[in-house]
Structure 1
Amino acid sequence: MSADTATSTAAPRSNAVIRDILRGSVVTTILAFVIAFVVGGVLIAVTSAEVRQAAGYFFARPGDTFAAIWDAVAGGYEALFRGAIYNTRADAFATGIRSLTNSIGYSAPLIAAGLGVALAFRVGMFNIGAQGQIIFGAAFAALITFPMGLPAPLQIVMTMLGAVVGGAVWAGIVGVLKALTGAHEVILTIMLNYVAVYLVTWMVSTAGVLQREGSNQPISEATPEAAIFPKLLGPQYPALDWGFVFVLLAAVFVYWLIERSSLGMRMRAVGENPHAARAAGVNVERIYVYAMLFAGGLAGLAAAQQIQGAVTSGFTSSIDAGFGFDAITVALLGRSRAFGTVAAGLLFGALKAGSYSMQASEGIPVDIVLVVQAVVVLFVAAPPLVRTIFFLPQTEQEKLAKQRARQARKAVAQ
């Protein structure tokens, strides 16, 4: 074969590799972040008082407006970096890296709850009850394990297990009802969220149940000193504790369960097609129960991160701190994969840590970061839209879908 022939055959192969890369989820996810940060930059500029002031005399001195926009956007994202990754204004490296440890610490409950939602997704179930599972898991752990008075290592483990069991019990109700009656898990989890909120509100407001002794406020007893997670890198990094290690172990377990175990194979089969799975001999109803038990247990692990690390002075019915619903976006961004969920949780933890710095140093509302998160999820969930915006090659499925749509329109026109 001549050199010219080899070159002509190699070119199409390399082009195909490039097309596959451009169609892949990694590229679309990165571009989704690009769009989100552009949208965030626009919002930062719009909400900046300096930009609005300079825009008032735009036609006289347009350069002032553009300079104000640059200062607002660059300052905002620089503050985001300082709060999330490394504080460039710190005196020492050990102080500057505290931003990164804050991001990792904030991500722990997000990852744990996100793993629970992602696991349910893989079984074809939409679990939006992580909020109730976190709240009940925290209350269950406090009610059962706080009075034990065990020494530190054992008390830590028992409190964490109590939260996991409480979350599993609360989610297990959904699995059992779906298996026995066919009730939809979305309705069940929404309703149980409300039940958990009001039940725990009653618990922390009632003396002799969970209310702090000698107090008339709706708050629980403080977490026992022996149940608090030790700091992973010492007291100079208060946001990062050993709870994050347990979350990483949970991620490894979820990966093994879903991708490597025989039970995980049956779960994936049910998620792909429950009718085909039933025809193959899989007990679909039992899989639903198992999935919700595991999902609730992981949400309970998020509750343990809260009561044993973040909120140790006592908790209320808002102990979930919004993580229950943020977990849905984390699972979607992680594409319902264990390690993808870990990466998404770390990202959202970094955005949360950075948002505080943006607000404190630049006066930028925290809501801007929430918009960035929402836009990221929006475009990650709609990869054809990202490919259309950036003129990327379409997948074969998208081409087939468009072809069928054209055929349907022609048939209707005729």
Structure 2
Amino acid sequence: MPKPNEALRRLFVMSGWTLSQCARAVNRVGGENGTPLQYNASAVHHWLHGTTPRGERVPGYIVEAFSRRLDRPVTHAEAGFEPPNGRCPGHPDTVEELIELGRYDMDPSRRGVLGATLFSVALTVPDWPNVVNRLAAVESGRTKRIGFREVDAVTAMTEELSRLDDQFGGRHARPMAADFLVNTVGPHLRAAASDAVRKALLSATADLLYLTGFMAVDEGLDGLAQRYYLKALECAGAADDHLTYCTTLRGMSLQAIDLGHAQYAQRLADAAAAASPSAGPRMRAFLAGQQAHAYAATGSRNHALAFIREAEVAMEKAESKAKAFGSYAPSSLAYHVSQVKYALGDKAGAVESLKESDRLRHSHYRRSSVRYNALLAERQLELGHLEEACSTWERVLDDYPLVQSGSADEKIQHMKSLLRPHLRNPAAARVYQRSRMTEAV
């Protein structure tokens, strides 16, 4: 008979959960990470009495569930479980492991290892002082020396990958980014270079890592995205690049909101803002917009409205063009205004702001158009405007076949589930049938 797991019982008592609540929390973590689970109170009872959960990933889900509940990191040992065997590929410590992360991602036969990586709100995110000089000890190679020409090539390739992601989605572009990271950027990081060149290269690498993480989020690989984001923070710190550091934290905040972790998102958004004391108006709008979104998601009305107003004032002052990716435009601000209005109960206002976002968005951003117009249709339907929602979904289906995106796929599936109760309506039936034909193609 197994020995009771007293360590897990201590965590359970601290959590204040019932057995059923604990089971639902573990199921939720598993679902986020691609493993549908159906544990119930009986399963938790058995774990507390020493039964080892089936499946090598389940203890990690349990640990993550308690980390979220207690709002602090919980280890396998603290929960009475054996630590995971071996080192996780791509744990962000060295350039060698950065290359290892990319190598797994570019290899379809091994990509599932990283796809199973756990998204964690208990992840330790290094602050700015802790990432500065983190990579200062990178060894330089003796047989090759690089200059600004190689740095410019990394920047140009990153911008091209961003363009492909914006227009066609990241499903095909991310493996290309991983390949470039392994076969070009990795060797550059080991090559001899002047201090100025090395610093510029680390900054360009941070941009590439941020973009690759962003594309992983789009594909629903949230744990993998966190690994890329953490490495981007390290490289940005080594390059003294506040812009990419803050942009990455902001991206992590957006990822957390989309997964329903509003408090975690708020902390990340605040950390991004705190790390950019001398940000220009466009960057300030970029960060304040995310703070507004995060505070609205937590129900903090006054803070949300104050930050969205700050974003609006900063956007009015913005003049210089931002980077090709991670930039913040009036269409992005309108999207954030919509999210704040929706979270605070103004659904009609949220719809109008999403329409404004669509009017302001450049046609190049096709993937964003699919996602945000699908969201617009969902909210139009919430208001009871079925015909208008169907008209918006028609425009979504015009662009959807041209986009390879996990998030876009999810939106189309959600659209079909929302339309099924309305199939007696001719417009709804037409959109539903068209979506099925689009998938068949």
Say yes or no: TM over 0.5.
Answer: no
Computing the radius of gyration from Cα coordinates, the structure with the larger value is: 1
- The structure whose residues are more often helix, as a share, is 1
For this structure pair, what is the TM-score category when the shorter chain's length is used for normalisation? Answer: under 0.3
User: What TM-score do you get using the length of structure 2 for normalisation?
Assistant: 0.24
